[in-house]
Amino acid sequence: MQHSMALLTPLVQFSRRRLFWTALALLALTACGGADDAASNGTAGTVNQLLSEPGAGTAALVAATPTRPAPALEPAPPMPVALSPDGERPLLEAIARSYPFRKQIETKEQTGQVRALEAARIEANLDQAKLDLAGIKRNLATLSAGGLPTYALIHSVASNGSLNAWIVLPDGGVVAGATSVPYVGLGTLQGGLGVDRIAETRGPQRQEKQRLDADSEVDVEADLDTGIGAEIDADEDADADVDADNDRGAGKRDNSPESIRKRQETLAEAAATLLPGDIRQVLAAGEGRLLVVPVSDTGTAPYAALPIRNQDDFAARRWSFVVMQDLNVLAGDSSGFDMGKVDLSKSVIVGDPDDMRDVRYSFPALPGARKEAQAIARELGIAEQNVLIGADATRKNVVRAIDRSAGEGVIYMATHAVADAKNPLTRGFVVLSQQNLFAGELRTEQFRGWDEHQPLVVMSACQTALGRVFEGGTFGVARTWTNAGAGQVVASLWNVSDRATYRLMTRFV
């Protein structure tokens, strides 16, 4: 069903409507599943990118210490020289070109319709771009003053097709990099990491296909100990019942030396593409929090697992990652979400719905999600009426409970989810008992109290950060939660086992 080892990171505070989502950081790539595309394989658990959590008061994000000691590394390289003010002109032009992309997704949020892109008026928009870049620098300085150096990574596709990247440093300096070949997207990443086959045995599957063994899972410890990622300390007594339900022996990842080499090469190629030139050297020289402003599908990369100084030096050892909804969030001056204002006792917990229905998919039960929801409800001291498990996890009951909480707590859902790359609103949904909750309904939902309080929404379900890819980023279930008024969304990318997600998320909470 779900994930594999968490990075805890403190949230940045921004405006209510323009919030950003984060995705769980998947360090143990060998335990993760995947899908050929979001339209053909939703699922119950997932992971990849980074996850967020409370700092005191403002937004101090802190990366958790990995359970496996980091290998000895060569000395950090020097920080690259920042661009001169004149050298920042290409970044200003890229910001000016991004405005039509942002407007297109805003229209999708507001109307559900896809609006044709307007021609970018670069010269006319340069003044606004200068204001936005100044706002980004100001916000990074403010966030860094809280103790955790905060950087911003901005991606843009150039007219020649190359992926351009800029890192804005806490002191306002800018470092640039660019790929030497056209950017063609991240479509080959999952195949190179070997996650496609495992995805076929997990989560929702098309009804017309022969049902595979969805209960078959991999031994998590064996998967993790492959040189790619960090391991989880397993409490075998506490996890015994979940283990019994999941360890069936099928769908195991190929951990031969050749397959491990291929995964390492895939990650190295992804790092060279997403962190080109001096961008990667900034990460090798520094540490802290990196706010990613994506273009196209670059927000769906496993940044935490990318190798930096060498193939064993994963970015997550020194960096936490937050994917921003758009550049306007990073440049804005309002302070929206504050985890310190969330009343955990008023949270709504949903887990392992019974009677899961859809005309296109069949869904396996999720014993790990049930156990996860029960454990988290106990940990947070949630009232019984706000713990909806099995047959109680109907759409009607969930919406009522969310209204009762009035936005003051966490909305936590441990279930299946389906993302759709073509029709994210009408075919993307969170699975509940009898009737699912569709992204299109979330886009227009008016939850009581959300104008005053902006809750944290945790989607402990696969592919909730996926959807339709636009030039300005990805539109799907996570983004519709923010449109409804959520202060922040923890979402996920790939399909991972039910048991691994239970272990990850109980530690996260």
H, E, C per residue of 434-499: CCCEEHHHHHHCCCCCCCCCCCEEEEECECCCCEEEECCEEEEHHHHHHHHCCCEEEECCECECHH
- Cα separation, 484 vs 411, in Å, equals 13
Of the given ranges (31-35, 112-116, 155-159, 380-384), which has the lowest mean pLDDT?
31-35
> Per residue in 136-151, pLDDT tens?
999 999 999 988 999 9
The alpha carbon of residue 41 and the mean position of all alpha carbons in its chain are separated, in whole angstroms, by 17
Give 349's strand partners.
387, 412
**Averaged over 426-445, what is the pLDDT?**
88
User: Running DSSP on this structure, what letter comes out for residue 49?
Assistant: S
Structure tokens at 322: 């937050």
> Per residue in 334-374, pLDDT tens?
655 677 888 899 999 999 999 887 767 778 888 999 999 99
- Cα separation, 142 vs 152, in Å, equals 13
| Cβ contact 123:104 at 8 Å | no
> Per residue in 459-507, pLDDT tens?
998 888 888 888 878 888 888 888 888 888 888 877 777 888 899 899 9
Instruction: Write out 252-274 in H/E/C secondary structure.
Output: CCCCCHHHHHHHHHHHHHHHHHH
> Could you tell me whether strands 488-491 and 456-460 are parallel, antiparallel, or unpaired per DSSP bridges?
parallel
Share the mean pLDDT of the chain.
Answer: 75
What pLDDT is attached to residue 1? 33
> Per residue in 222-238, pLDDT tens?
332 333 233 333 343 34
Strand order, beta sheet including 174-182: 174-182, 162-168, 150-157, 288-293, 319-323
Regarding predicted confidence, which is higher, 284 or 439?
284
| Cβ contact 278:80 at 8 Å | yes
**Averaged over 317-326, what is the pLDDT?**
87
pTM for the whole structure: 0.75
- Cα separation, 20 vs 141, in Å, equals 19
- Cα separation, 394 vs 396, in Å, equals 5
Handedness of CA 358, 360, 362, 366 (dihedral sign): negative
Residues 6 or more apart whose CB falls under 8 angstroms from that of 431 comprise 44, 204, 353, 356, 358, 363, 415, 416, 417, 418, 461
- Looking up tokens 């950003």, which residue turns up? 20
- When pLDDT is cut at 50, 70 and 90, the band that residue 252 belongs to is low
User: Running DSSP on this structure, what letter comes out for residue 400?
Assistant: H
| Cβ contact 21:323 at 8 Å | yes
Regarding predicted confidence, which is higher, 196 or 82?
82
Helix (H, G, I), strand (E, B) or coil at 158: coil
Residues 6 or more apart whose CB falls under 8 angstroms from that of 100 comprise 117, 118, 119, 120
Regarding predicted confidence, which is higher, 446 or 114?
446
| 112-114-120 Cα angle (round to 5) | 135
What pLDDT is attached to residue 309? 93
What pLDDT is attached to residue 144? 93
Residues 6 or more apart whose CB falls under 8 angstroms from that of 271 comprise 280, 306, 307, 308
- Cα separation, 410 vs 501, in Å, equals 18
Does residue 48 register a pLDDT over 60? Answer: no
What pLDDT is attached to residue 205? 57
Of the given ranges (116-120, 197-201, 441-445, 462-466), which has the lowest mean pLDDT?
197-201
